[in-house]
């Protein structure tokens, strides 16, 4: 039996209200964050300085009011774009909310042919953290949400043609082919993948000519967990790929973020995010893999690696 028009109207109103909850939460969160930062700045400027006291915070590291204004402006617009993306019923409809929609369309189509279209209801999300990322070409807005069912989602938004759009490749953890299938021997022999990397025996091997790493598939909705593990990869520290990985692990151990990101990462312990090109080949009847290139030490849709290659000096010879 068809519902009365009044009932349908109430349902539609309730749905619209639910959809706006996430946007309001993002705005409130960002406003609160801005007030906290502003309050901290006032306290710091008003605090008396003892003669000869060394300041623990200086003007160079104090929060920038322009950053606060940018976050307060971007938060509701990014929330609206994310809501539109999540509530769109098809990849084609979602495409209008993503960065570089024309070039992204083919990747989205290919990705969702091999991966399910995950159902995320905006009204079930609670904002957990926000921040800025200093990407080449302009600052990006970053946010993380927690769902009622325990899932966690992080997304990055960049301004394009005066609109804030979702970095879909980052959000979907886009790879040329599903990592578990690639490791199992399916699909193309080579591709680029967004993966988690862990360094093996970092202290014991720090003077070795090769860095030893293991790659893991990310788990969508569970960023603190790692998926399928790869065999060991040995990458020469004399080559740029090895030096980039070396630098990225050193940076992570020091607690520094790629591109000066504000948000704390929630990767599994000891792991970093990488975009790497991997080749699969057979040798003496055995399936093997090699890293043919390190595109970046992050998942953002920029090709800059995010770190400067680390060139280690050879250990001093014992007399």
129-165 pLDDT, tens digit each: 999 999 998 999 999 999 999 999 999 999 999 999 9
**Contacts of 271 by beta carbon, 8 Å cutoff, 6+ apart:** 196, 197, 198, 216, 226
| pLDDT digit string, tens, across residues 24-54 | 555 555 544 443 333 333 322 333 333 333 3
Q: Is the dihedral of CA 133, 78, 217, 222 positive or negative?
A: positive
**Residues pairing with 262 in the sheet:** none
The DSSP string of 249-301 is HHHHHTT--GGG-SSPP-PSTTEEEEEEEEEEEEETTEEEEEEEEEEESS-SS
Let me know if 137 is exposed, middle or buried by CB neighbors in 10 A (0-12, 13-18, 19+): exposed
Q: Strand 210-218 to strand 138-147: parallel, antiparallel, or no bridges (unpaired)? A: unpaired
Q: What is the number of helices (H) and of strands (E) in the chain? A: 7, 9
Least confident stretch, 5-9, 106-110, 265-269: 5-9
Both structure tokens of 294 = 């390190």
Residues 153-179 have a mean pLDDT of: 95
226-236 and 210-218 as β-strands: parallel, antiparallel, unpaired? antiparallel
Provide the b/e sequence for 176-212 (b: ≥16 CB within 10 Å): bbbbeebbeeebeebbbbbbbbbbeebeeeeeeeebb
pTM over 0.85: no
Q: Tell how strand 286-296 and strand 271-283 pair up.
A: antiparallel
| Overall average pLDDT of the 197-218 stretch | 92
**What span, in angstroms and rounded, lies between the C-alpha atoms of 196 and 215?**
6
Bridge pairing between strands 271-283 and 163-166: unpaired
pLDDT digits (tens, 9 = 90+) for 61-92: 556 788 889 999 999 999 999 999 999 878 88
Q: Record the tokens describing residue 117, joined without a space.
A: 């279209």
The domains found in the chain, sorted by start residue, are 5-172 (no CATH), 179-296 (2.40.50)
Burial of 15 (0-12, 13-18, 19+ CB in 10 A): exposed
What radius of gyration, in Å, describes the C-alpha atoms of the chain? 23
Q: What backbone torsions phi and psi does residue 100 show, to the nearest 5 degrees?
A: 45, 60
224 band by pLDDT with thresholds 50, 70 and 90 = very high
**In the chain, which ranges are continuous DSSP H helix?**
5-46, 65-87, 91-94, 101-114, 168-172, 179-183, 240-253
| Distance in angstroms (rounded) separating the CA atoms of residues 167 and 172 | 9
Candidates 244, 195, 202; CA nearest to 217 is 195
State residue 103's pLDDT score: 93
Query: What is d(CA 34, CA 300) in angstroms, rounded to the nearest whole number?
Result: 25
């Amino acid at each position: 039996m068809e519902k009365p028009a009044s009932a349908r109207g109430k349902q539609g109103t309730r749905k619209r209200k639910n959809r706006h909850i996430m946007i309001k939460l993002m705005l409130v969160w960002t406003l609160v964050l801005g007030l906290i930062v502003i309050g901290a700045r006032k306290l710091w400027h008003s605090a008396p300085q003892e003669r000869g006291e060394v300041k623990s915070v200086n003007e160079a590291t104090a929060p920038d009011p322009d950053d606060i204004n940018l976050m307060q402006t971007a938060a509701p617009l990014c929330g609206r774009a994310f809501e539109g993306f999540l509530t769109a019923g098809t990849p084609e409809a979602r495409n209008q909310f993503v960065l570089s929609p024309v070039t992204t369309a083919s990747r989205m189509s290919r990705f969702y042919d091999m991966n399910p279209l995950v159902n995320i209801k905006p009204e079930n999300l609670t904002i957990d953290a926000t921040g800025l990322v200093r990407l080449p070409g302009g600052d990006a807005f970053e946010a993380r949400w927690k769902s009622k069912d325990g899932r966690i989602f992080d997304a990055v938004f960049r301004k394009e043609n005066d609109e804030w759009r979702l970095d879909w490749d980052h959000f979907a953890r886009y790879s040329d082919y599903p990592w578990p299938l690639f490791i199992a021997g399916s699909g193309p022999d080579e591709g680029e993948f967004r993966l988690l990397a862990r360094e093996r025996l970092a202290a014991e091997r720090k003077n070795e000519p090769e860095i030893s790493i293991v790659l893991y598939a990310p788990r969508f909705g569970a960023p603190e967990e790692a998926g399928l593990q790869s065999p060991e990869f040995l990458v020469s520290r004399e080559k740029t790929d090895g030096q980039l990985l070396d630098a990225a692990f050193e940076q992570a151990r020091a607690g520094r973020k790629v591109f000066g990101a504000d948000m704390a990462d929630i990767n599994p312990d000891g792991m970093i995010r990488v975009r790497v090109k991997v080749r699969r080949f057979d040798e003496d009847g055995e399936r093997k893999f090699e890293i043919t290139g390190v595109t970046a030490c992050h998942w953002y849709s920029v090709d800059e690696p995010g770190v400067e290659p680390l060139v280690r000096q050879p250990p001093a010879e014992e007399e």
